[in-house]
């Protein structure tokens, strides 16, 4: 279930040059310590004079959390046109650029597009990989072969990857990516704000596992070898795919690491990883530990899922998405099931809401000027602000829910807050105002513990439950609380709009992305009682005349 707050409209800045954000200081952020100069042994080859530093966890200074990195590129008009043609066709060809970073210049860098062209490339903003080793395979820049600039159209906060990786890093038991914020200028014109994420390659393997542990094969999606391909024939991966027997699996990989990785995705609400949906993840064949799960791509996390998504069952009424055989087998196992619960508890502790929300606030302040000035962002400024607020609310609600979930799974029947609801029925057993049957008020908290935000039954339209999303020239309000068709129509009309459905293929993607997690019908038309769901396979709508109450999609000018 989605945790939604409302937002309003205003103009979007399109300044050609962003404010100077590189030297922004955030005293509460982690500091870079134990810095060292790179040498060839640390970077895996001849650095060609490459200099830089790394912190105590081995993260390059390109990922210093205290600054927003400013990257600038020069690219010939013909190459820029070719890059745009790649964007239209779905290609990922490299094109030459000159990279500028402070006083440094790399005149043989290359750039290509990143992301999924079949889902991610539906607005004008492109995402990039910048490579330093395409011309000279031994070349590195601040210890890196490549940098990855991420800004998907469905990620309105510019923070999800950074916060997720920070929580992972704080938990300390799993490999993680270094990340911070960045801006990109193209031929002197500000192009946009990004999340700067460490690229998963041999340098990442060395940082994560050390030189001796970096000789195994890294498999993207568990099937595509992207590093040290020659080190494996794939037989161990095939054997893992052929069984769910823990007694066999334990001979193939580190099952403690597996359940910890599954727990990390569950705690963070990963909507596009292995735990949910068998999509974005890596498998790494470690030379001594066997197969490891490696999470990847957290831009679809946090409030995309409801705060009360079950760590084993996932979304209500949508178990099929979460039916990954290995997750189900291990969480049901008498040995590994309790270890999964322990791992959820540990990861939830790492997502301490006070610490995590402080990072959200710090990094939002750090990057907000660049986001507001971004001429290519796919969202309105108010949508960005509201999305960050939803993220804050979700972190606190999720942490409380998981604390109760862990206690329940461990057999507790206590009622810690004395509100009459035991821990297994109470998604926040430390707050007596939150429990089934509690009076709901319009404050962004689910007091009655039904999974719906701000939905008092006596005044179902008394709270502003709609969130605005901009898509091209069209604007939508997704109103999450269930209403009758008449009440949904009245609510939408009062906002100056009309109940509506998708028109273009891009809008089908948009509708599907924002509504599929709850797998319910949504009102799309008034009068006729027309409602529907959206089909992932065809990105068309499946419409029917519906009764009862449903959430609604409101199109506004």
pLDDT digits (tens, 9 = 90+) for 501-515: 877 777 777 777 777
pLDDT at 205: 96
Percent of the chain exceeding pLDDT 70 equals: 87
pLDDT at 380: 84
- Confidence class of residue 456 from pLDDT cuts 50, 70 and 90? low
- The distance of Cα 31 from the centroid of its chain, to the nearest Å, equals 24
The angle that helices 160-171 and 255-268 make with each other, rounded to 10 degrees, is 140
CA pair distance 471, 491, nearest whole angstrom: 21
pLDDT of 74 above 60: yes
* CA-based end-to-end distance of the chain: 27
Strands (E), 52-165: 69-74, 95-101, 104-113, 128-131, 146-150
Maximum average pLDDT range among 184-198, 289-303, 304-318: 184-198
Any idea where the domains of the chain sit in the sequence? Answer: 205-350, 459-557
Minimum mean pLDDT range among 47-56, 210-219, 440-449, 526-535: 47-56
CA pair distance 409, 153, nearest whole angstrom: 37
pLDDT of 21 above 80: no
pLDDT at 76: 98
The closest of 445, 450, 451, 424 to 433, measured between CA atoms, is 445
**What average pLDDT does the structure give for the chain?**
85
pLDDT digits (tens, 9 = 90+) for 133-181: 999 999 999 999 999 999 998 899 999 999 999 999 999 999 999 999 9
Question: How far lies 146's CA from each of 60, 131, 140, 244, 454, in Å?
Answer: 12, 4, 8, 36, 45
pLDDT digits (tens, 9 = 90+) for 242-279: 999 999 999 999 999 999 999 999 999 998 899 988 88
pLDDT at 118: 75
pLDDT at 384: 92
pLDDT at 23: 35
The closest of 451, 507, 510 to 482, measured between CA atoms, is 451
pLDDT of 441 above 50: yes
CA pair distance 116, 380, nearest whole angstrom: 23
Question: How far lies 236's CA from each of 73, 151, 282, 285, 331, in Å?
Answer: 42, 35, 14, 8, 22
Maximum average pLDDT range among 118-122, 134-138, 383-387, 443-447: 134-138
CA pair distance 322, 313, nearest whole angstrom: 7
pLDDT at 289: 97
pLDDT at 452: 72
pLDDT digits (tens, 9 = 90+) for 130-140: 999 999 999 99
Comparing 514 with 69, which gets the higher pLDDT?
Answer: 69
pLDDT at 516: 67
pLDDT of 350 above 90: yes
Select 459-557's CATH number: 3.40.50.720, 3.30.300.130, 3.50.50.60, 3.10.100.10: 3.10.100.10
pLDDT of 48 above 70: no
- Confidence class of residue 4 from pLDDT cuts 50, 70 and 90? very low
Do 384 and 160 meet the contact criterion of CB atoms below 8 Å apart?
no
pLDDT at 52: 66
pLDDT at 34: 36
The closest of 469, 482, 480 to 556, measured between CA atoms, is 469
Q: What is the DSSP string of 305-374?
A: S-TT-BTTTBSTT-GGGG--HHHHHHHHSTTHHHHHHHHHHHHHHHT-HHHHHHHHHHHHHHHHHHHHH-
Do 315 and 13 meet the contact criterion of CB atoms below 8 Å apart?
no
pLDDT at 44: 37
Strands (E), 18-79: 69-74
- Confidence class of residue 374 from pLDDT cuts 50, 70 and 90? very high
- The distance of Cα 486 from the centroid of its chain, to the nearest Å, equals 36
Q: What average pLDDT does range 65-81 have in this prediction? A: 97
Q: What average pLDDT does range 289-317 have in this prediction? A: 89
pLDDT at 288: 97
pLDDT at 465: 80
Do 84 and 93 meet the contact criterion of CB atoms below 8 Å apart?
no
Residue matched to tokens 């001979």? 251
pLDDT of 92 above 90: yes
Do 124 and 473 meet the contact criterion of CB atoms below 8 Å apart?
no
Residue matched to tokens 């509504």? 515
pLDDT at 47: 39
pLDDT at 539: 63
Minimum mean pLDDT range among 38-52, 186-200, 332-346, 397-411: 38-52
pLDDT of 18 above 60: no
- Confidence class of residue 66 from pLDDT cuts 50, 70 and 90? very high
């Amino acid at each position: 279930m989605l945790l939604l707050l409302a937002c309003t409209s205003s103009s979007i800045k399109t300044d050609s040059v962003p404010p100077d954000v590189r030297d922004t200081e955030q005293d509460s952020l982690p500091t870079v310590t134990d810095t060292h100069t790179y040498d060839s042994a640390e970077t895996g080859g001849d650095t060609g004079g490459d200099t830089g530093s790394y912190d105590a966890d081995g993260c390059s200074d390109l990922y210093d959390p205290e600054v927003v990195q400013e990257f600038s590129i020069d690219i010939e008009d013909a190459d820029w046109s070719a890059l745009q043609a790649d964007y239209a066709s779905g290609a990922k060809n490299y094109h030459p650029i000159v990279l500028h970073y402070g006083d440094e210049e790399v005149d043989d860098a290359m750039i290509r597009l990143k992301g999924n062209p079949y889902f991610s490339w539906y607005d004008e903003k492109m995402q990039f990989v910048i490579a330093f080793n395409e011309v000279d395979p031994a070349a590195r820049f601040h210890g890196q072969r490549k940098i990855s600039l991420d800004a998907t159209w469905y990620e309105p906060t510019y923070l999800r990857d950074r916060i997720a990786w920070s929580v992972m890093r704080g938990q300390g038991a799993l490999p993680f990516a270094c990340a911070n914020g960045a801006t990109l200028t193209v031929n002197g014109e500000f192009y946009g704000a990004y999340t700067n994420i460490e690229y998963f390659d041999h340098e990442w393997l060395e940082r994560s596992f050390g030189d001796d542990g970096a000789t195994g094969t890294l498999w993207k999606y568990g099937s595509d070898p992207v590093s040290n391909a020659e080190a494996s024939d794939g037989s161990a991966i095939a054997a893992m795919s052929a069984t769910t027997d823990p007694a066999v699996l334990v001979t193939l990989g580190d099952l403690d690491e597996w359940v910890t990785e599954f727990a990390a995705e569950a705690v963070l609400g990963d909507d596009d990883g292995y735990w949910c949906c068998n999509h974005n993840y890596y498998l790494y064949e470690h030379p001594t530990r066997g197969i490891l799960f490696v999470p990847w791509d957290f831009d679809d996390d946090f409030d995309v899922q409801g705060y009360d998504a079950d760590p084993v069952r996932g979304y209500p009424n949508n178990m099929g998405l979460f039916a990954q055989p290995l997750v189900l087998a291990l969480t049901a196992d008498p040995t590994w099931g309790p270890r999964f619960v322990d791992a959820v508890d540990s990861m939830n502790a790492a997502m301490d809401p006070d610490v995590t929300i402080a990072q959200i606030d710090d990094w939002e302040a750090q990057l907000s000027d660049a986001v507001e000035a971004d001429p290519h962002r796919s969202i309105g400024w108010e949508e960005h602000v509201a999305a960050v607020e939803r993220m804050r609310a979700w972190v606190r609600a999720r942490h409380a829910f998981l604390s109760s979930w862990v206690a329940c799974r461990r057999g507790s029947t206590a009622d810690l807050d004395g509100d009459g609801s035991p821990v297994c029925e109470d998604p926040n057993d430390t707050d007596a105002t939150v429990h089934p049957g509690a009076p709901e008020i319009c404050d962004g908290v689910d007091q009655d513990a039904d999974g719906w935000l701000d939905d008092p039954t006596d005044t179902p339209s008394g709270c502003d439950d709609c969130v605005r999303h901009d898509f091209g020239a069209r604007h939508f309000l997704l109103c999450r609380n269930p209403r009758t068709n008449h009440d949904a129509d009245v609510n939408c009309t009062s906002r100056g709009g009309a109940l509506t459905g998708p028109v273009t293929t891009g809008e089908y993607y948009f509708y599907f992305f924002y509504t599929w997690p709850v797998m319910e019908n949504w009102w799309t038309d008034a009068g006729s009682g027309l409602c529907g769901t959206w089909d992932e396979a065809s990105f068309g709508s499946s419409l029917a005349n519906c009764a009862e109450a449903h959430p609604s999609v409101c199109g506004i000018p």
